[in-house]
Structure 1
Amino acid sequence: MQREIMTSIPFLSQPSAEALNTPEDLAVAQDLKDTLDAHRNGCVGMAANMIGVSKSIIAFVDEDFGGRIFVMFNPTITAKDGAYDASEGCLSLKGERRTVRFQRIEVSYADRKFRERHATFTGFTAQIIQHEIDHCEGIII
């Protein structure tokens, strides 16, 4: 189900709790996908706190896989290299902000079946994931 976009800075500034393998957290992931899909014309990634749920769940569009929406539970960046300056917008915030991102990242996360995964991402997909993990950590750029 599509949800409203959260814009409360105090809420978005709070670190998210760990996601669990529960029906409730799986439903949040589906709502996150549905909400991202509804905003695809201007959004390529979302974190659960952007739909009002303080859980460490992200969804993002991966153009390298035909525009498929991927979901990660409890993502953590384990390695990064190739720092560069970026300017990013966000559905939860007005305008764009400058930040430092990395060209290549490695991420540990749980998939929809809560199997532990580790993957490498580069380019724009890596940038999206970094932005969404920042949301999970309560970092607002």
Structure 2
Amino acid sequence: MVREICKDEVFLAQKAEAATEANLPVAEDLLETLIAHKHDCVGMAANMIGVNKRIIAFAGDGVHIVMFNPEIVKKSGPYDAEEGCLSLTGTRKAKRWKSIKVRYQNPAFQERFKTFTGWTAQIIQHELDHCEGIII
């Protein structure tokens, strides 16, 4: 189900709780909402659809990826970026990393590690800021 985008900064500033298998329907809604906004959005965190769980979805390398409980375990190559967000008006400056290694769980809740670079790494970092309650 496509959900409404949350713009409540008090809610968005809360740190997300760990996701469980019970949150698989939330991930489906998150992915459907991301796809519905594909013309102006490349990634979303669950709090953007009003659910305070550590789940992100993004478009990467031509496919949509959903991650449960992601966290960056390695990073390199800092740079400054400017980003927009469907939940917030305008753009904001952010410090990002050119390369990140992420530990996460896939939809089968199997632990995975993957390294991302460039634009995809930037998208993931933006969504992980959402999970941490960081409003850039």
> What's the counterpart of residue 95 of structure 1?
90
| Runs of 5+ unmatched residues, structure 2 | none
Runs of 4+ aligned structure 1 residues displaced above 6 Å come to none
> What's the counterpart of residue 42 of structure 2?
44
Question: Aligned partners of 1:100, 1:134: CA distance in 2, in Å?
Answer: 11
> What's the counterpart of residue 4 of structure 2?
4
Q: TM-score, normalised by structure 1?
A: 0.96
Question: Aligned partners of 1:99, 1:19: CA distance in 2, in Å?
Answer: 26
SS in 2 for 1:53: coil
Question: Aligned partners of 1:104, 1:75: CA distance in 2, in Å?
Answer: 15
Deviations 1:85-120 (A, max 9, x none): 100000000000001100000000000000000000
> What's the counterpart of residue 122 of structure 2?
127
Question: Aligned partners of 1:111, 1:105: CA distance in 2, in Å?
Answer: 17
C-alpha displacement at 1:68, in angstroms? Answer: 1.1
SS in 2 for 1:118: strand
Among residues 39, 55, 63, which one is paired with 2:53 in the alignment? Answer: 55
> What's the counterpart of residue 14 of structure 2?
14
SS in 2 for 1:112: coil
Paired positions, count: 136
Question: Aligned partners of 1:5, 1:21: CA distance in 2, in Å?
Answer: 23
Query: Percent of counterpart pairs with the same letter?
Result: 60
Cα RMSD between the aligned structures?
0.4
Question: Aligned partners of 2:108, 2:129: CA distance in 1, in Å?
Answer: 23
Question: Aligned partners of 1:106, 1:134: CA distance in 2, in Å?
Answer: 15
SS in 1 for 2:89: strand
C-alpha displacement at 1:21, in angstroms? Answer: 1.4
Amino acid at match of 1:85: D
Question: Aligned partners of 1:32, 1:68: CA distance in 2, in Å?
Answer: 15
Question: Aligned partners of 1:41, 1:21: CA distance in 2, in Å?
Answer: 30
Amino acid at match of 1:20: T
Q: TM-score, normalised by structure 2?
A: 0.99
Question: Aligned partners of 1:46, 1:21: CA distance in 2, in Å?
Answer: 19
